[in-house]
Structure 1
Amino acid sequence: MTPETKARLLIDQKLEQAGWVIQDLKQLNLGAAAGVAVREYPTDTGPADYVLFVNRNAVGVIEAKKDSAGENLTATENQTERYATANLKWRKDNTPLRFLFEATGQIIHFTDSADPIPRSREIFHFFKPDTLSLWTSQNTTLRHRLAKQMPALPELNLRDCQISAVTGLEHSLALNKPRALVHMATGAGKTFTAITSVYRLLKFGGAKRILFLVDTRNLGKQAHQEFMAYTPPDDGRKFTELYNVQRLASPSIDPHAQVCISTIQRMYSILSGVPIDESAEDVSLNEVQQTNKQEKLVRYNAAVPVETFDFIVIDECHRSIYNLWKQVLDYFDASLIGLTATPDKRTFGFFNENIVAEYTYEQSVADGVNVGYDVYEIETEVTQKGAQLKAKEWVDHRDRATRKKRWAETEEDTAYTGKELDRSVVNPSQIRQVIQAMKTAVETQIFPSRKETPKTLIFAKTDSHADDIIKMVREVYGQGNAFCKKVTYRAEEDADSVLSSFRNDYNPRIAVTVDMIATGTDVKPLEVLLFMRDVRSKGYYEQMKGRGVRSLDGESLKRVSNSADGAKTRFVLIDAVGVEKSLKTESRPLEKKPGVVMKDLLQGVAMGSRDDDTVLSLANRLVRLAKQLDDKAKARIEKVSGGISVGAMGKSLITALDPDAIVQTALETAKAKGITRTEDSLLPEELEAARAQRVAAACAPFDRPELRDELENARREREQIIDHINLDQVTFSGFSEQAETQANKVIQSFTDYIAAHKDEIAALSFFYQQPYQRRTLTFDMIEELHEHLSKPPIMLTTERLWSAYTRVQTTAVKGNDRQRQLTDLVSLVRFAIGLDTELKPFADDVDKRFQAWIFRHNAQRGTAFSPEQTEWLRLMKDHIASSCSISRDDFDYAELADKGGLQKAWGLFGKDLDTLMNEMNTELVA
């Protein structure tokens, strides 16, 4: 069978799975089904491999290629287009066919020529005939509607960061970018923002169905509640009255659902056919180590075709979308929208560095959305150094699962470190000392005026550890069961009701959790977080800290903490395990030695590196390689390996480290020597010798250099590494040396002119007289300076100066992609005379100074500006950014007059208005 024939058979199979009837031209019967794919259909430019008919009308064409042509499918697009625009025999209407496919047996590319800017994309599987029928019946395509028909966003009741996120996302979708990332701080309303976007995509974009992926079942419930509570700005009804929202709890998707809420684990289960354990959805995938035993490839599921969802919103799910779970996202033909407060390098890489909105924790604190935090450390000797138990000491021995105790002697001296606490060893005194120290600190130093314990969340290592902590908290505080509760998925008491009480009621005052409240779950009254577990994942740690950042008004805080004397202004992180200082990683590796290339693993094994990590890493690479090689490559490797296949070599490495097999080998060796041994009586050196013997046998083939070379060559030929980790950046974007020389001349002319006229031109005098004489820099002064500069012979316009600095001082110049404003001349002067070390747009400087000014002002006042006052201060700030100053007369300008002008501003600020304007003119421009 030729490669072309093999590819055609696989294409036929995929078409049939999607509901197409395949026919040769001689057996043509367009009435046989709604969707008919006709092979070798004649056109006036030659026979097309497949022409697709839906309801007897030709709608698309497939150009088939052998599998080895996968890397060149884009080169086939002209051929596909030629058939699509050709005259089809026996067809009266010669309108070009709309749907264009290029396919091998493994890869499918698709182009919808009705899109505004048609662009091919890879899809997992062919679409169903009904889908193409629906698309042909619509007046416009989804991508056309996104690019041309999305109305302006109503900004009422939306924060600036939410407006930026929705508009940035819609701009990205209008450009047909397949992945977009919204980075918003915890508490900024990510889910609300996402629902706003989902509503607009359904109503104005005409999306059929949207998948809302969450990290755990608990977060799914929370998201569903937010959908039910959401009222769109242009309709008085709730979201769930307008659109069907399904929270998936079974293997079937409601055909009438327009929004499906699901964990990625459940969606993987639906697609792969592997039943899901309900508890699997209760634990964040950040806490789960994946193994190869979990691997089961997602295959086409006709009940859930690839076109099921138009968009996938990934809410705080970025920890879950790699490795095994990524298959779910690859399966659907959908644009991906990521929402996260804690991105890492993988996140940026996965979303193609397309960050459509960014709102940091620091910005959220400045805006009053979140609160800052202090760190309070508790160290104990046992936590730091561990301890030692002598042999023959009588102590409790507790079964981890049943917690049943037995009183017995220790068999030998047992030393343990702080890391082993609450895992192999529990030290009640260590727990007691930490809890007592926390109680004392909160009552005397952290919140000394409080009459009740502030709402406190304790992070424990395990459920067993949580139980120990709860017992100790109740004892140390002298309180009953209601005072301290466990909030984990394994708690016998309903976790949701405990969580609701923790949020809204007086009791419990302290909650202990392992992972349920670690991510995404809001408890606004929280004021103390106690870490009794270390966390190595940087992103997960930020998520855990995020449980305390939410701001809360004084009345709401007082409802659960009676003696609170105002709004929540901070939270305190109590570090009892060194979590703030411990080394954090971007993410947890799933392979033992992911940074070591296969060539080095092979060489290491040949040189005698036989540790578990090296052997298992090599085994994983070989097993993976075995699935990728063609028959010829496999044959070449078997020839130099002595008949051992790649897969068998990988498997033998894994088997060599099987603990049971090592014990069996040790027993057989002892028996051969005439020594009687049982499993329990084997000596450590006998087990080590058996392990070394098994590993040596499994590693023996790699002693051959020709095998190592053949394996490395096969890997290089067959595998491409898609690097999402190392993000690229432009280091030079080409002007010649001559252009650079010219740019230096422009800059020198500017510097010379400033020095020569610093006493004559008002704008220059302003900068040179600082800080001795502070006065308002006006727009007229900047216009005067620009007029002098732009005249012959020097002709130094703002745009020309900025361009010159960009060429010769690339790293110091920011905001090159912006349109220049006249006020950017302020930044140019400051940079030229050394007041600033970076050259960035004037508006950016004003924004930064405004954030600092308003934060300082709020702190000095003791109460923050109201939301309406803050909105007006932003309008005034924007006017300063474009005009260098603000005065009463400026309230007649459109952007201020439209909001109510001077009368409205005076009503909000009264006699403080002039003082505020003077402050802003000084602080934001100087």
Structure 2
Amino acid sequence: MTTLTPEQQARRRIDRQLEEAGWIVQSMSELNPAAGRGVAVREYPTDSGPMDYLLMVDHQAVGVIEAKRDDEGHRLNAVELQSARYATSSLKHLGQVALRFVHEATGEITRYTDSRDPKPRAREVFQFPRPDTLAQRLKEPETLRARLTHVPTLQPHGLRDCQLHAITNLEQSLGENRPRALIQMATGAGKTFTAITSIYRLLKFSQAKRVLFLVDTKNLGEQAEGEFHQYIPQDDNRKFTELYTVRRLTSSHIPDDAQVIICTIQRLYSILKGEPLDEATEETVPDGAAILRKPPLPVIYNARIPPEFFEFMVIDECHRSIYNLWRQVLEYFDSFLIGLTATPDNRTYGFFQQNVVSEYTLEQSVADGVNVDHRVWRIDTEITQAGGRLEAEELVEKRERLSRKKRWEQLDQEIDYQGTQLDRSVVNPSQIRTVIQAFRDGLPQMFPDRVDDDGAFQVPKTLIFAKTDSHADDIIRIVREEFGEGNEFCKKITYRIDEDPKSVLASFRNDYHPRIAVTVDMIATGTDVKPLECLLFMRDVKSRNYYMQMVGRGTRSLDADGLAVVSNAARGPKQEFILVDAIGVKDSQKKETGSLEKTPSYSQKDLMNAVTMGVRDEEVLSSLSGRFARFAKRLDAEQQRQVKDLTGGASLNDLAGQLLKVDDPDAIDAQTRKHFNLTPNETITSTQWDEVRKQRAQQACAPITGPLNTLLEDIRERQEQTLDTVNIDTVTHSGWDRDLDTQRAHLRQEFEQWLQSHRDDITALTIYYAQPQRRAEITQQTIAALLESLKQERPRLAPVRIWDAYAALDDVQVKRPEQELAQIVALVRRACGWDDKLTPYADTVRANFKKWIFARHAGNQTKFSPEQQAWLEMIRDHIAVCLHLEVDDLDYIPFNEEGGAGKMYQLFGDEMDRVIDEINDALAA
């Protein structure tokens, strides 16, 4: 058997890659440029010596490949001068030709440079571009990277400041040819709208051909598709989908004529691999603990969808683990990668090369009024905290989780259970009922003004997070009973319901019913339900990012009209939401998603998902083998038959044995020697060993599919739970979070310290603190400058948060004004001691107005006529909103409608200016 040199091995791999990409590889002796559209000629002679490969497209010499050995991959940067020299050499028969497309390759690594880019820079690509791709690039007047340098300035019309900032910075990043960019934007701030605006501009101004919008659940894909259909650009009256073709992939077919393709990463992986997709994998986030820390899934070249197919890839919810497990899927494409997330972690920053083009936090969004903040209501019960005990010989009820079939059994030994076991192996209906009762009874305190026209309390739109499907069913039944309502009042929104989950979700979002929805994970992340005003956690969450995503379901703001559509008892816009913590989720220890553990504990479902998606490492296969062996003992004869039907006759024990044998070193050794015809004296290479091990793993894992996972989960759901109807639960605390007063005190202290630190450099604060005689000089402009400085430096001290802190600590029931200027004026007056308790500024103005009128009349001054009084009341209302009256203001609404400055002069004569100064001074007191 002839042994190839490293150079020959590299050339053989490069030849194969070129052929896969549609090139015809020839030597000089067989040179025929007409053999195909793309011809790669080996060892083409030049005046600098023979180049390794000359690339010809349509008879035209267009590119060069400098080939190196596999072990020289780390030196490809060093050979750029060599490949560039060949690119400008004189070619035999062709003379001096500038070869535009320059490559360096080892067969494992391929680098590509387009010399017509503004600042030509080599980048690593998965494989060589196809001849058709280079032909198309040759026709274009400018390269894509050149077009990205002169995109017109984005106009602010119709955009929030955070969106304008994100898009502007992204376009600058793209113009600098930075391959990855991260947009961090708080939930509810409009990430998808921002992305669609960017995509529209890329298609229109950069002539991008195709953009991929990548999601990790079917639900997010459908939501994104809806937003594309609704989007109308600022410079065109037509909808996005009237201008460009948008397609969401629901099969393996990828249309060539679509400019925007929406796809789950699960489906994209299956398309690249040429394998069928279990569509159930698209319904949940591929974020299970079992697959977080695994190496990227292997991807091979696919001529149907070559690496250059997408020029841009927008990755929604990119904080999740998809770029760990699925990294090669993302890096297969020669695309700019644009990440969207509200909750990045260190892995997110690392993957996007720390190129954060937008950082818009939840605190900033609350400060800007884009989102609303929340308060925490805590419900603690005895059994939630301490668990319970069932004594031996107690007659207890047993229930199958899925079928709800019941039977009675006398315990042969006592059962002690912890709160963490509730609603899994043990169900205590009293614990669920006690939490729901406490929640119901606390609602009037959480929403004191929520009474409808008939005088009845109206339950705000509430989302309850349950642990499991069976837990959700228990909650729904008890909610309906305790609230005395019917089926429409409370519904489940998960993928496993008989009703269309999208329809139920739409009703929850847009209709009066249901008032309460219960979910496990379908709408825990990424789903927009603006009218939500209450989140009830009856499950714990250990991932910090997942918890913040769940909390984000309540942060979206909504105007008064929008809220009134589904909650007609609401008075005004949505100003906050309430997080009801019935499990201790706020205080439980959280970890960053994907953190490494020496002894991780994975669920069988997660392990099977990992194997279904291509994970084949020893740890996963060994763990799953043990799970199968244990689970097999639970199966009855009918369930064993169902398993065999799905696996081609293999039992769970058979699968467990096959998985365990995958990494048997003696078996791999023997199979490798047989497969490669090796003698006992020949050494097995690591490549040979890995190839055989891969074959063994593939064969052992083949029966493990999505349908099998679904069956085993259904069987698990049928496993019995013990119902504890003996221990009756009691509430130990139901009220505002006991840490809240401390947090409020800290907020107020921090706010007052910030005011003090700026008392000499912000005009409004100088007046409030040191020069109260100038109070009439406080105008909208001075307060706006104060507010802007506060929000820029300390967004967490936004008026919306500080207002609640002062109101609670002052023990006053005062409604927060809608306008931030009115809020900040009242807060500063309180902090500076002008008011002894928090008072809305409009109330202060009205009170001061009464005092001023009374003082004038008591001082024997001429009383104002009814017409004059009406004008003064208009001025009073203006000052309550605008803080100050200038004579020029009389030319605007509402004064101009009553005759403006001329009419006021007619009423007050030469006293007009003095009256204006006097009322400005008096009302600002």
TM-score, normalised relative to structure 2: 0.68
Q: Distance in 1 between matches of 2:893 and 2:328?
A: 54
1:491 and 2:497 aligned: yes
1:475 and 2:481 aligned: yes
Q: Which runs of 5+ in 2 are unaligned?
A: 452-456, 633-656, 667-685, 691-759, 775-786, 805-813, 825-885, 897-912, 918-925
- The match for 1:772 among 770, 773, 783 is 770
- The match for 2:458 among 452, 458, 461 is 452
- Equivalences for 1:113-192 in 2 at 5 Å? 113-147=115-149, 149-192=150-193
The C-alpha deviation readout for 1:506-529, integer Å capped at 9, x for no partner, is 110000001111111111111110
1:64 and 2:64 aligned: no
- The match for 1:20 among 17, 23, 42 is 23
Query: 1:838 is matched with which residue?
Result: none
The C-alpha deviation readout for 1:833-884, integer Å capped at 9, x for no partner, is xxxxxxxxx99778437996875999999443499x99xxxxxxxxxxxxxx
Question: 1:48 offset after TM fit, Å?
Answer: 0.5
Query: 2:92 is matched with which residue?
Result: 89
> SS in structure 2 opposite 1:101?
strand
Q: Structure 1 vs Structure 2: percent identity of aligned residues?
A: 54
Q: Check the 8 A contact 2:66/2:105 in 1, yes or no.
A: yes
Query: 2:514 is matched with which residue?
Result: 508
Q: Distance in 1 between matches of 2:631 and 2:504?
A: 48
Q: Distance in 2 between matches of 1:571 and 1:846?
A: 21
Of the structure 1 ranges 323-332 and 39-48, higher mean CA displacement relative to structure 2 is found in 323-332
Query: 1:598 is matched with which residue?
Result: none
The C-alpha deviation readout for 1:563-618, integer Å capped at 9, x for no partner, is 11111111000001100001111114476459xxxxxxxxxxxxxxxx999xxx9x
Q: Check the 8 A contact 1:442/1:448 in 2, yes or no.
A: no
Give the residue type in structure 1 aligned to 2:526.
G
Q: Distance in 2 between matches of 1:568 and 1:190?
A: 21
Q: Distance in 1 between matches of 2:433 and 2:405?
A: 21
Q: Distance in 2 between matches of 1:663 and 1:401?
A: 17
Question: 1:412 offset after TM fit, Å?
Answer: 2.1
- Equivalences for 1:190-205 in 2 at 5 Å? 190-205=191-206
Query: 2:392 is matched with which residue?
Result: 391
Aligned length: 685
> SS in structure 1 opposite 2:98?
coil
Query: 1:556 is matched with which residue?
Result: 562
- Equivalences for 1:174-573 in 2 at 5 Å? 174-287=175-288, 289-290=290-291, 297-447=298-448, 449-450=450-451, 451-573=457-579
The C-alpha deviation readout for 1:886-926, integer Å capped at 9, x for no partner, is xxxxxxxxxxxxxxx99899848989xx9xxx9xxxxxxxx
Inter-CA distance 910–268: structure 2 relative to 1 (3 Å threshold): farther
Give the residue type in structure 2 aligned to 1:186.
T
Q: Distance in 2 between matches of 1:906 and 1:159?
A: 30
- The match for 1:37 among 27, 40, 64 is 40
Q: Check the 8 A contact 1:370/1:550 in 2, yes or no.
A: yes
Q: Distance in 1 between matches of 2:440 and 2:766?
A: 56
Q: CA RMSD in A?
A: 4.1
Q: Distance in 2 between matches of 1:775 and 1:182?
A: 47
The C-alpha deviation readout for 1:497-544, integer Å capped at 9, x for no partner, is 111111111110000001111111111111110001111111111110
Q: Check the 8 A contact 1:228/1:240 in 2, yes or no.
A: yes
Question: 1:385 offset after TM fit, Å?
Answer: 1.1
Question: 1:323 offset after TM fit, Å?
Answer: 2.5
- The match for 1:46 among 34, 38, 49 is 49
The C-alpha deviation readout for 1:259-279, integer Å capped at 9, x for no partner, is 011111111111122321111
Give the residue type in structure 2 aligned to 1:119.
R
Inter-CA distance 69–554: structure 2 relative to 1 (3 Å threshold): same
Give the residue type in structure 1 aligned to 2:29.
K
Query: 2:5 is matched with which residue?
Result: 2
> SS in structure 1 opposite 2:298?
coil
Q: Distance in 2 between matches of 1:417 and 1:197?
A: 51
Q: Check the 8 A contact 2:533/2:576 in 1, yes or no.
A: yes
Inter-CA distance 568–255: structure 2 relative to 1 (3 Å threshold): same
Question: 1:764 offset after TM fit, Å?
Answer: 14
1:74 and 2:77 aligned: yes
Q: Distance in 1 between matches of 2:388 and 2:179?
A: 55
Q: Distance in 2 between matches of 1:651 and 1:285?
A: 19
Inter-CA distance 176–406: structure 2 relative to 1 (3 Å threshold): same
Q: Distance in 2 between matches of 1:763 and 1:357?
A: 29
Question: 1:290 offset after TM fit, Å?
Answer: 2.1
Question: 1:556 offset after TM fit, Å?
Answer: 1.8
The C-alpha deviation readout for 1:73-113, integer Å capped at 9, x for no partner, is 11111111010010111115x24111111000211111111
Give the residue type in structure 1 aligned to 2:320.
R
Inter-CA distance 296–445: structure 2 relative to 1 (3 Å threshold): closer
Q: Check the 8 A contact 2:371/2:557 in 1, yes or no.
A: yes
Q: Check the 8 A contact 1:220/1:263 in 2, yes or no.
A: yes
Question: 1:7 offset after TM fit, Å?
Answer: 0.6
Give the residue type in structure 1 aligned to 2:444.
E
Give the residue type in structure 1 aligned to 2:56.
F
Q: Check the 8 A contact 1:858/1:865 in 2, yes or no.
A: no
TM-score, normalised relative to structure 1: 0.68
1:864 and 2:866 aligned: no
> SS in structure 1 opposite 2:48?
coil
Q: Distance in 1 between matches of 2:42 and 2:388?
A: 77
Q: Distance in 2 between matches of 1:206 and 1:165?
A: 21
Inter-CA distance 905–309: structure 2 relative to 1 (3 Å threshold): farther
Q: Distance in 1 between matches of 2:887 and 2:172?
A: 34
Question: 1:551 offset after TM fit, Å?
Answer: 1.1
Inter-CA distance 292–349: structure 2 relative to 1 (3 Å threshold): closer
> SS in structure 2 opposite 1:378?
strand
Query: 2:108 is matched with which residue?
Result: 106
Give the residue type in structure 1 aligned to 2:203.
L
Question: 1:180 offset after TM fit, Å?
Answer: 0.6
Question: 1:286 offset after TM fit, Å?
Answer: 3.0
Q: Distance in 1 between matches of 2:584 and 2:795?
A: 36
Q: Higher relative CO (CA 8 A, sep ≥ 6), structure 1 or 2?
A: 2
Give the residue type in structure 2 aligned to 1:151.
P
Q: Distance in 1 between matches of 2:620 and 2:285?
A: 33
Inter-CA distance 81–176: structure 2 relative to 1 (3 Å threshold): same
Give the residue type in structure 2 aligned to 1:586.
E
Inter-CA distance 466–336: structure 2 relative to 1 (3 Å threshold): same
Q: Distance in 1 between matches of 2:359 and 2:602?
A: 42
Q: Distance in 1 between matches of 2:439 and 2:765?
A: 52
1:848 and 2:793 aligned: yes
Inter-CA distance 906–320: structure 2 relative to 1 (3 Å threshold): farther
Give the residue type in structure 1 aligned to 2:41.
V
Question: 1:388 offset after TM fit, Å?
Answer: 1.6
